[in-house]
Amino acid sequence: MIGPRDLSADHDGRIVADIVAEWAHRHGRPFVLELTGPAGGTYARRPDGPEMEDAKLDAVQFCRTLAGRVRATGLLATIIPF
């Protein structure tokens, strides 16, 4: 399993940002997403929009969830194959 010492903001953070962008494009709904850990960051699309969802979780857990390895609800149930 990947640990925090194995991740970098420069490399892994860029990969996570690309995954967030694809996820946001696929679902197209308003959100605020706070990803923790070295590869994390805060992302938003129309945060004042109707039916806005927010989530806070570890960046690696976010990626595992979107890959379908963890059951999810709401916007986090939007699968990104990678």
pLDDT in tens, 17-70: 999 999 999 999 999 999 999 999 999 999 998 899 999 999 999 999 999 999
Q: What is the layout of strands, in order, in the sheet containing 53-58?
A: 41-45, 31-36, 53-58
What pLDDT does residue 32 have?
97
The per-residue pLDDT for 1 is 55
* pLDDT at residue number 6: 78
Confidence of residue 7 (pLDDT cuts 50, 70, 90): confident
Q: Where are the domains of the chain?
A: 4-77
Rounded to two decimals, the pTM is 0.88
The pLDDT of residue 8: 78
Nearest 5°: the CA angle 13, 14, 20 is: 85
